[in-house]
Amino acid sequence: MQRVNIIGAGLAGLSAAITLAENKIQSNLISLQPSERAQSVLAEGGINGALNTMGEEDAPKYHKEDTMRAGAYLADEEAVRGLTDEAPQIIRDLERLGVAFNTQKEEILLRNFGGQKKKRTAYARSSTGKIIMTALIDEARKYEAQGLISRYPHHAFESLVLSDETTERACRGALIRDTYTTRMHFFEGSVILAIGGMNGVFPELTTGTTANSGDALAQIFAQGVRLGNLEMIQYHPTTICISGKRCLVTEAARGEGGRLFVMRAGKPWYFMEEKYPEFKNLMPRDVVSREIYFVRKDPSCGEQVYLDMTGLSGEVWRKRLPDLRAELIHYLSIDPQTTPVPVEPGIHYFMGGIDVDRKHQTNIAGLYAAGECCDQYHGANRLGGNSMLGAIYGGRVAARTVAERVEQAADVYDGNEKKIKYEKIPETDRDFREASQQVIYEIRDILAAAMGIVRNAQGLRKAEERLAQLLQRDGLNERERNRIYLAQAMVASAISRRESRGAHYREDYPERDETFSGIMQAEIKQGEDIPIQITCRKAQRAEETV
Amino acid sequence: MKAEIKILRRKSAFSDNYWQGIPFETTDENATVAYALNQMNRTKGLTDTEGREVELPIRWECSCLQKKCGACAMVINGRPRLACDTELREFRKKRKGNSGDQMGEIRLEPLHKFPVVADLIVDRSILFENLRIMQTWVNGSGKVAEKRSDQAYEASRCLQCGCCLEICPNFYPGGEFFGAAAFVPAARLLSTLSVEEQREVREQYEAHVYAGCGKSLACRDVCPAGIDVDHLLSSSNGIAVWRQHG
Ligand SMILES: Cc1cc2nc3c(=O)[nH]c(=O)nc-3n(C[C@H](O)[C@H](O)[C@H](O)COP(=O)(O)OP(=O)(O)OC[C@H]3O[C@@H](n4cnc5c(N)ncnc54)[C@H](O)[C@@H]3O)c2cc1C
Ligand code: SF4
Ligand code: SF4
Ligand code: FES
């Protein structure tokens, strides 16, 4: 029996591996670095689910509505229903695995997060991702000891192995390079990609980890895997600059009462509160980032926006945000309890990625994707707290889909066996060269200039031209070319969306236009005049049944 | 700000190592060792202090760059630390007449207790092997009681970076004693599982922690996550060895 190959060991990969193991299906959990190093450990603020423990009469359908509205109705409503319906159970499962959520009278507390009308975000102080990851890693270890999960850390995904092109292409496995021995291996069987967001396309400019280099996404795109929603890049409103990257100031800071202001006529102006009296500082992230962009351009305002957390109680700092305070003191020498913190929007999340259907299948048979690397659930703008949820749930759904198709393990270790012998996997030789830092940064600069919080045709066309020129340069290697194709697809998606929606704001088309109420899909069609093709797939609305 | 960064380099597990000093200059006052490594790896035609071209990349592991993932642990001037949590300005020379722009020597070596893969990368798989032997997982329900929540939270924070093992006088790879990198995660289970469900972890704890730990707490002083190792150790000893639940 073939093992299922899961690439990526963050929340999505772990969740898929555990779900398969629960179904007695063996998997290889392959990742560049061990789970402890995955971006998922950075998540801070919390995970959403309508647990309804705060006496606010919450229910999954309200969670679904908030998710759809924040995503500007681009997400697949039926898929979002599945996500929000299962969310309370997912949090209960995590609780059972020993996640130390903040509680009161033994019941999970929920906090406010942006764009949501009710308290719905469960949290473990301000290190929720790390605490959840620890529990899931331990759970995966249990199945590892039973022989159901084999971990391959320090193994890099190089490319898919696809069956010969006939009518429908299928995934036969993946080429994987052991970065310690530098040997290449062929892992046969179906593949679930859980490779995280493409932070490495924007080195130094994101809050995430550039270990998620974007190479894998660029590679599979070049191999014909369809991507979607690439123009939707989330700028988080509150980040700070630290050595070599942007560092997040969690939305929980505003959830717990933090207020944004800018100096105007010598006085702090709490612009979000004035402009949005209902949600105030907790509007969805796209709106807050855009407002920050505009007030900073406003000649009557100062250029620096501040996050004022001085009104938060000592209790909140101690019990709910201790890590955030320590971080701000460490990096900025500012104690947020007494002094407002200067903040700026920064790239934080990619709503786009591998295009999947409700069952997390890609356009290639036997290939699945889950977590931040796919384009499901978040539409034009992700709600804070929904991505850990989306990663865990997406991993489950992908695994369930695979489970319908593969056999269960005939016999597995009975648990007494302590040392697991790894199967020998056939080695293959294949030359490979990393993309050069020069090209990576050139592409980054082109994209960063054109794909900011506010965009227009002129800037995007210029990026298009510069990428086309770059592609003509002599001596590019395969990885560099693939990165350029991916960048071209991002820009082309943004050019095609001639409207403003969610994170994609076009100053030349400031209104929403229902012609574009669907995901922009990008696909490479080798041999055609314009190899990168963009099509708008109509958003799928479910019939309202509640 | 100028610094000479000396790196103990090694092409692969099978080659000899050698020191290479590389001059580094930056205007970023907050620059860390991690930043310097990334910048050096981006510099085409980088030369060392003797004018020779440096073979790039200098291999090292990193991910989060904000001291939350443990990838970048290495020995810096003799101490196990995270490269992304070590600012160059810490090494500012304090001599008279110095403009303050020149840093003292900064020496980077791979952690010593693990096999070297290349340059500053070591193979830390033993950390995970040991946790498997410790059986740090939940059977049944691991729901955390509120009074145990602080301990479960603290124990969940371990980065598996290995700094504590580097400094520990009693840990060596392949030995029976597993060190803080194993007893911190075990404390999570000891604090949450019911007495019956913890039997396995308890037995492993006695064999691989309690029996070997000298309680010098050198590990506490180097833990980059600032984990309250001291407290976790005494409370786990209480639960695992003396059966003090409460
Ligand atoms: C600072 C910060 C705070 C956040 N806070 C929150 C929050 O409060 N709530 C919330 O819901 N979300 C939050 N998020 C977002 C959330 O953490 C991520 O979207 C989510 O964890 C992604 O999980 P994942 O499993 O998809 O990817 P990741 O955790 O990024 O895992 C990707 C995996 O793929 C592997 N990989 C990548 N490339 C390769 C390759 N080529 N070969 C082999 N393996 C590869 C990596 O090694 C890794 O194991 C936050 C994000 C950041 C950066
Ligand atoms: S207390 Fe001492 S012997 Fe025990 S783990 Fe820490 S450093 Fe090692
Ligand atoms: S206890 Fe501290 S030093 Fe040891 S592995 Fe965990 S985080 Fe690192
Ligand atoms: S890179 Fe994550 S701890 Fe240094």
CATH number at residue A502: 1.20.58.100
d(CA A503, CA A380): 6
- Are B118 and B132 contained in the same domain? no
B149-205 pLDDT, tens per residue?
Answer: 999 999 999 999 999 999 999 999 889 999 999 999 999 999 888 888 888 899 999
| ipTM of the complex as predicted | 0.96
Å from B151 to nearest chain A CA?
A: 9
Token representation of residue A271: 């612009």
Q: What pTM was computed for the model?
A: 0.96
CA dihedral (B64, B65, B70, B74) positive or negative: positive
Which domain-ending residue is among B70, B90, B122? B122
Domain count, chain B: 2
Residue A418 pLDDT more than 90? no
Domain match, A63 and A161 both? yes
Confirm whether A524 is domain-assigned.
Answer: no
Q: List, for residues A374-412, the tens digit of each pLDDT value.
A: 999 999 999 999 999 999 999 999 999 999 987 666 555
pLDDT: which is higher, A529 or A298: A298
Please name the residue ranges forming H helices in chain B: 33-42, 125-134, 149-155, 163-167, 180-192, 199-205, 218-222, 229-240
Check pocket membership of B163 for ligand 3, CB cut-off 6 A.
Answer: yes
Q: pLDDT band for position A73 (50/70/90)?
A: very high
Q: Report how many domains make up chain A.
A: 3
Mark whether A420 and A304 lie in a shared domain.
no
* B139/A142 CB distance under 8 A: yes
Does B84 contact A243 at a Cβ distance shorter than 8 Å?
Answer: yes
Residues B20, B118, single domain; the answer is yes
Q: Alpha helices of A173-301 — where are they, by DSSP H?
A: 215-222, 252-255, 271-275, 285-297
- The per-residue pLDDT for A414 is 47
Same domain, B53 and B108: yes
pLDDT one-digit tens code per residue, A132-152: 999 999 999 999 999 999 999
Whether A9 is covered by a domain: the verdict is yes
User: Closest Cα to residue A306, out of A249, A381, A387, A352?
Assistant: A249
A400: in domain: yes
For residue B34, give the ligand nearest its CA. 4
Instruction: Check whether residue B180 and residue B217 sit in a common domain.
Output: yes
Q: Are residues B71 and B163 in the same domain?
A: no
Q: Which of A326, A348, A370 is the last residue of a domain?
A: A348
Same domain for A319 and A245, yes or no, is yes
Cis peptide before A153 (omega within 30 of 0): no
Both B22 and B107 in one domain: the answer is: yes
Domain that holds residue A309: 236-348
Judgement on whether residues A107 and A26 belong to the same structural domain of the protein? yes
Same domain, yes or no, for A388 and A489?
A: no
Among A348, A383, A413, residue at a domain's last position: A348
Mutation target among A37, A125, A205, A331 for the B interface, most CBs of B within 10 A: A37
Average pLDDT of chain A to the nearest whole number: 93
CB A149 within 8 A of CB A17: yes
- What is the distance in A from the centroid of ligand 3 to the CA of B163? 6
Tokens 């469900």 sit at which residue?
B197
Q: Do B95 and B110 fall within a single domain?
A: yes
Q: Is residue B4 left, alpha or beta, with left meaning phi > 0 and alpha meaning psi from -120 to 50?
A: beta
pLDDT tens digits along A36-66: 999 999 999 999 999 999 999 999 999 999 9
Residue A528, in any domain of the structure: no
Same domain, yes or no, for B61 and B130? no
Give how far B123 is from chain A: nearest CA, Å. Answer: 8
Residues A282 and A389 both lie in one domain: no
A525 located within any domain: no
Q: Are residues A386 and A437 in the same domain?
A: no
Residue type at A257 in one-letter notation = G
Would you tell me how many other CB atoms lie within 10 Å of the CB of residue A477? 15
SS3 B32: strand
B50 and B103 fall within a common domain = yes
Beta-bridge mates of residue A48: A121
Indicate whether B8 and B110 sit together in one domain.
yes
Q: Are residues A388 and A283 in the same domain?
A: no
What's the CATH number where A287 sits?
Answer: 3.90.700.10
Whether residues A388 and A435 share a domain: the answer is no
**CATH number of the domain within which B154 lies:** 1.10.1060.10
Q: A56 and A177 share a domain? A: yes
Name A380's Cβ contacts closer than 8 Å, sequence gap at least 6: A71, A72, A74, A229, A232, A286, A351, A501, A502, A503, A504
Ligand 3 nearest atom to the CA of residue B80, by list position: 3
Distance CA A242, CA A224 (A): 37
Give the residue from B122, B139, B172 where a domain finishes. Answer: B122
Q: Round to whole Å and give the CA distance between A301 and B235.
A: 54
Q: Please indicate, yes or no, if residue A520 is contained in any of the structural domains.
A: no
The answer as to whether A436 is a domain residue is yes
Residue B129 to chain A, least CA–CA distance (Å): 9
**Do B13 and B115 belong to one domain?**
yes
Pairing label, strands A301-308, A233-242: unpaired
Report d(CA A219, CA A216) in Å as an integer.
5
Cβ within 8 Å, pair B71-A33: yes
Domain extent, residue B70, equals: 2-122
A335's tokens: 């104690």
Q: What is the C-alpha separation between A360 and A366, in angstroms, rounded?
A: 11
A405 classed as catalytic = no
Confirm if B202 and B208 have CB atoms less than 8 A apart: no
Between CA A345 and CA B202 the distance in angstroms is 48
Q: Which of these three, A305, A321, A348, is where a domain ends?
A: A348
Q: Give the nearest ligand 2 atom to B218 CA.
A: 7
User: Which DSSP letter does residue B208 get?
Assistant: I
| A312 and A417 assigned to the same domain | no
| Rounded Cα distance, A283 and A260, in Å | 12
- B112 and B12 in one domain? yes
Q: Which CATH number characterizes residue B89's domain?
A: 3.10.20.30
Do the chains contact at B64 and A100, CB–CB below 8 Å?
A: no
Same domain, A220 and A114: yes
pLDDT score of A405: 86
Show which of B122, B144, B159 is a domain's final residue: B122
